[in-house]
């Protein structure tokens, strides 16, 4: 049996105690579950290296969604007929499955449209608390001028812009923890920035550009030491690494469904129970109330308090199936496989003349993500060249403009893997990148 | 060969313009300017318009960063805008926009198009790559917005 457990989560700099990576045969068998992976692009077999943007979906997940719609369609958490009961049980069962997958309790998981909405839910909940909503129990969230919110320079726009807006609305100050030239979070700087005025620290678990893993346990320690909350952007970790939110000790976390085999339109917010209990709602309306008067209303406890309106029921059921599928493969083995792929990528890319890999050097911990720039060739042109060979990568700023600015570039090319990615695909991408400069006359 | 499609997109004249960047470098004395950003990649261009004595658009100049398609497009546009009446500028923008929206169906051998767009005709291949049309249009949209700022 592969060694379990997730030392990734045990803090900075430690190499993972790795489980066995997936074998070539296992990867081939898994690939057969994904219809997309057998298609061609521009006359070549698809080499999909954009799973950091969105993952492909296995038939099993699509089937789960379809089976629900065909057999159980009914409104959930309202109505009293048989179908309403069945649909509600399946929906709440999906919540429990997803919660267990990330090491949380079912009533600590709120369904959202996506991770961006999950983060905005917290930001607006705090905003509403700052306006006095939520009564005494919400006073712990209240922001006034002089309070500070802390983010890092590596954040995805979705974990930056909502905090900018919250600062504008409340008069709080937004402070930023910077990065080293190699993209490493300056943890000493975090220790300086996180202080008595800090109310919340928002940080990504894994950089969506660099694939580097943030020292979350240290950040949690710093934040909790001054009574501040920690919100974790888990979009690039939940699909790729073993994740246990209770062990990690964060207060909130945002998860994206479509990056982990689920459909688009479904994400989740994790919040520690006592925090969700105290947080005022963001979206309001039907299904989140107990008693409604003409002037004011009382609200349900979480998670229902944060799920106003008709929910994404079939999507939630599909996402739960996705987490079961991932669980059966084993997140420790997925992490080991992608760790090897990430190293193979940077070891292939770094020696190519004119290619600069952003972030950590080969041999340093990273997930299956590598972003790079090619001297004399713009990322759009690099991506176009690869696309012509059926290799699909992301080009641009990857929703992380401040990070790119910090590293001195406007745009980069990003290859990102998943457990269905093969060594041969990584090698094909590396070989194509090696031909880019000659094609554009930059060599 | 898929590679032929790529060579069609990246014709030699395009790569040459992307390197030479005609019109690059903003001079003082412009009558109007506009800045455009491609939000997907963060590429940007700032384009200035210079007027002639008779109310014509005498020339343009630009600065910015971007892919070879956007840089070549700006360079070709700079060659094209030489002492033109405002309505002649509008015509060129309209024809280029139609070319970009043609999905490769416009007859680029047609002299009527070649006379109006000159080297920019070589960007016709971009129209088959829906994700790149914005790159080619960036300087043209900047010109359109800058011209809208010109006093009549």
Task: Please judge whether A410 and B69 are an interchain contact, meaning their C-beta atoms are less than 8 angstroms apart.
Answer: no
Based on the domain organization, do A35 and A115 belong to the same domain? no
A1: in domain: no
A316: in domain: yes
Exactly one of A399, A407, A429, A430 is catalytic; name it. A399
Based on the domain organization, do A222 and A80 belong to the same domain? yes
3-state secondary structure chain B: CHHHHHHHHCCHHHHHHHHHCCCECCCCCCCEEEEEEECCCCEEEEEEEEECCCCCEEEEEEEEECCHHHHHHHHHHHHHCCCECHHHHHHHHHHHHHHHCCCCCCCCCCHHHHHHHHHHHHHHHHHHCHHHHHHHHHHHHHHHHHHHHCCC
Which chain B residues touch A47 with a CB distance below 8 Å?
A: none
A79: in domain: yes
Task: Indicate whether B150 pLDDT > 90.
Answer: no
Task: Indicate whether B144 pLDDT > 80.
Answer: yes
User: What is the pLDDT at residue B3?
Assistant: 55
Residue bearing tokens 């922001």: A143
A227: in domain: yes
CATH of residue A355's domain is 3.90.1150.10
Total structural domains within chain A:
2
Based on the domain organization, do A301 and A423 belong to the same domain? no
Query: Encoding tokens for residue A275?
Result: 């925090």
A321 Cα to chain B: minimum distance (Å): 32
CATH numbers and ranges of domains, chain B: 2-149 (3.90.1010.10)
Q: Are strands B57-65 and B43-51 parallel, antiparallel or unpaired?
A: antiparallel
Q: Are strands A44-45 and A229-233 parallel, antiparallel or unpaired?
A: unpaired
User: What is the pLDDT at residue A17?
Assistant: 52
Residue A198 is given by DSSP the state E
Burial of B73 (0-12, 13-18, 19+ CB in 10 A): buried
Half-sphere exposure at residue A136, Cβ-oriented, CA atoms within 13 angstroms: 0
Distance, CA of A373 to CA of A369 (rounded, Å) = 14
User: What is the pLDDT at residue A10?
Assistant: 42
User: What is the pLDDT at residue A377?
Assistant: 96
Tell me the per-residue pLDDT of B42-74, one tens digit each, with 9 for 90 and over. Answer: 789 999 999 998 889 999 999 998 999 999 999
Distance, CA of A390 to CA of A372 (rounded, Å) = 19
Q: Are strands A252-256 and A229-233 parallel, antiparallel or unpaired?
A: parallel
What's this model's pTM, rounded to 2 decimal places? 0.93
Q: How confident is the model at residue A18 (pLDDT cuts 50, 70, 90)?
A: low
Based on the domain organization, do A185 and A160 belong to the same domain? yes
Based on the domain organization, do A204 and A105 belong to the same domain? yes
A2: in domain: no
Based on the domain organization, do A178 and A314 belong to the same domain? yes
Of A262, A292, A327, the residue at which a domain comes to its end is: A327
CATH of residue A218's domain is 3.40.640.10
Which chain A residues touch B132 with a CB distance below 8 Å?
A: 380, 384
Active-site residue, A235 included: no
Which chain B residues touch A440 with a CB distance below 8 Å?
A: 10, 15, 68
A108: in domain: yes
Task: Please judge whether A411 and B19 are an interchain contact, meaning their C-beta atoms are less than 8 angstroms apart.
Answer: no
Of A308, A327, A346, the residue at which a domain comes to its end is: A327
State the count of interchain CB pairs (< 8 A) between A and B: 57
A370: in domain: yes
Task: Say whether residue A379 is in contact with chain B using an 8 A CB cutoff.
Answer: yes
Based on the domain organization, do A99 and A174 belong to the same domain? yes
Q: Which of A84-93, A305-314, B111-120 is the least confident region?
A: B111-120
Share above pLDDT 70 across residues of chain B, in percent, rounded to a whole number: 97
Based on the domain organization, do A158 and A214 belong to the same domain? yes
Based on the domain organization, do A354 and A266 belong to the same domain? no
User: What is the pLDDT at residue A6?
Assistant: 43
Q: How confident is the model at residue B104 (pLDDT cuts 50, 70, 90)?
A: confident
A308: in domain: yes
Helix or strand or coil: residue A63? helix
Based on the domain organization, do A128 and A190 belong to the same domain? yes
User: What is the pLDDT at residue B54?
Assistant: 86
CB A261 within 8 A of CB A267: no
Tell me the per-residue pLDDT of B10-39, one tens digit each, with 9 for 90 and over. Answer: 999 999 999 999 999 999 999 999 999 988
Tell me the per-residue pLDDT of A206-255, one tens digit each, with 9 for 90 and over. Answer: 999 999 999 999 999 999 999 999 999 999 999 999 999 999 999 999 99
Based on the domain organization, do A304 and A360 belong to the same domain? no
Average pLDDT over residues A176-197: 96
Q: Which of A111-120, A159-168, A200-209, B103-112 is the least confident region?
A: B103-112
A residues 411-440 closer than 8 Å to B (CB): 411, 439-440
Average pLDDT over residues A153-174: 98
Of A280, A295, A327, the residue at which a domain comes to its end is: A327
User: What is the pLDDT at residue A7?
Assistant: 42
Which chain B residues touch A389 with a CB distance below 8 Å?
A: 2
Phi, psi (rounded to 5 degrees) for A232: -105, 125
ipTM of the complex: 0.89
Average pLDDT over residues A77-86: 90
Task: Indicate whether A312 pLDDT > 50.
Answer: yes
Instruction: Identify the sign of the CA torsion A358, A360, A361, A363.
Output: negative
Domain that includes residue A365, residue range: 7-56+330-439
Task: Kindly report the average pLDDT of chain A as a whole number.
Answer: 95
Using only the alpha carbons of chain B, give its radius of gyration.
15
Based on the domain organization, do A39 and A102 belong to the same domain? no
């Amino acid at each position: 049996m592969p060694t379990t457990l997730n030392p990734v989560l045990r803090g900075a700099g430690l190499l993972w105690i790795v489980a066995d990576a997936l074998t070539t045969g296992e990867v081939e068998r898994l690939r057969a579950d994904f219809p997309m992976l057998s298609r061609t692009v521009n006359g070549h077999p698809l080499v999909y290296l954009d799973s950091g943007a969105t993952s492909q979906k296995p038939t099993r997940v699509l089937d789960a969604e379809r089976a629900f719609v065909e057999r159980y369609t009914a409104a959930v958490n309202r109505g009293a007929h048989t179908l309403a009961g069945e649909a509600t049980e399946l929906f709440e069962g999906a919540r429990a499955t997803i919660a267990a997958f990330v090491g949380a309790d079912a009533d600590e998981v709120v369904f959202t449209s996506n991770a961006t909405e999950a983060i905005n839910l917290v930001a607006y909940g705090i905003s509403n608390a700052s306006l006095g909503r939520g009564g005494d129990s919400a006073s712990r969230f209240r922001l006034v001028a002089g309070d500070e919110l802390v983010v890092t320079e590596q954040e995805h726009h979705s974990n930056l812009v909502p905090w900018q807006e919250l600062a504008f609305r409340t008069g709080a100050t937004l402070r930023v923890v910077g990065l080293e030239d190699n993209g490493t979070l300056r943890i000493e700087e975090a220790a300086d920035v996180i202080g008595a005025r800090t109310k919340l620290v928002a940080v990504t678990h894994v950089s969506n550009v660099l694939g580097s893993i943030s020292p979350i346990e240290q950040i949690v320690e710093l934040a909790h030491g001054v009574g501040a909350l920690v919100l974790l952007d888990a979009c690039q970790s939940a699909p790729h690494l073993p994740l246990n939110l209770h062990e990690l000790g964060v207060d909130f976390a945002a998860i994206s469904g479509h990056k982990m085999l689920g459909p688009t339109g479904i994400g989740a917010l994790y919040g520690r129970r006592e925090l969700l209990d105290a947080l005022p709602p963001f979206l309001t309306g039907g299904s989140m109330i107990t008693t409604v008067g003409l002037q004011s209303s009382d609200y349900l406890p979480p998670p229902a308090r944060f799920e106003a309106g008709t929910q994404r029921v079939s999507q939630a059921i599909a996402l739960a199936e996705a987490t079961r599928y991932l669980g059966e493969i084993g997140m420790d083995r997925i992490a080991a496989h992608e760790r090897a792929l990430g190293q193979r990528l940077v070891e292939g890319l770094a020696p190519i003349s004119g290619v600069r890999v952003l972030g950590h050097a080969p041999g340093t911990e990273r997930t299956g993500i590598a972003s790079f720039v090619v001297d004399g060739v713009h990322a759009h042109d690099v991506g176009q060249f690869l696309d012509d060979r059926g290799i699909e990568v992301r080009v641009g700023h990857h929703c992380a403009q401040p990070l790119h600015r910090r590293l001195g570039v406007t745009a980069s090319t990003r290859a990102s893997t998943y457990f269905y990615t093969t060594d041969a695909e990584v090698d094909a991408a590396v070989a194509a990148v090696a031909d880019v400069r000659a094609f554009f006359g930059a060599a | 060969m898929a590679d032929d499609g790529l060579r069609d997109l990246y014709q030699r004249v395009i790569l040459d313009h992307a390197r030479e960047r005609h019109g690059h470098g903003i001079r003082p004395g412009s009558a109007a300017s506009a800045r455009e950003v491609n939000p997907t990649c963060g590429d940007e261009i700032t384009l200035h318009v210079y007027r002639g004595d008779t109310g014509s658009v005498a020339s343009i100049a630009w600065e910015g960063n971007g892919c070879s398609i956007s840089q070549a497009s700006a360079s070709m546009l700079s060659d094209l805008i030489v002492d033109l009446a405002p309505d002649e500028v509008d015509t060129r923008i309209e024809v280029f926009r139609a070319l970009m929206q043609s999905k490769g169906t416009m007859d680029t051998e047609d002299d009527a198009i070649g006379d109006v767009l000159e080297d920019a005709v070589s960007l016709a291949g971009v129209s088959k790559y829906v994700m790149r049309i914005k790159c080619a249009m960036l300087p043209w949209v900047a010109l359109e917005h800058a011209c809208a700022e010109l006093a009549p």
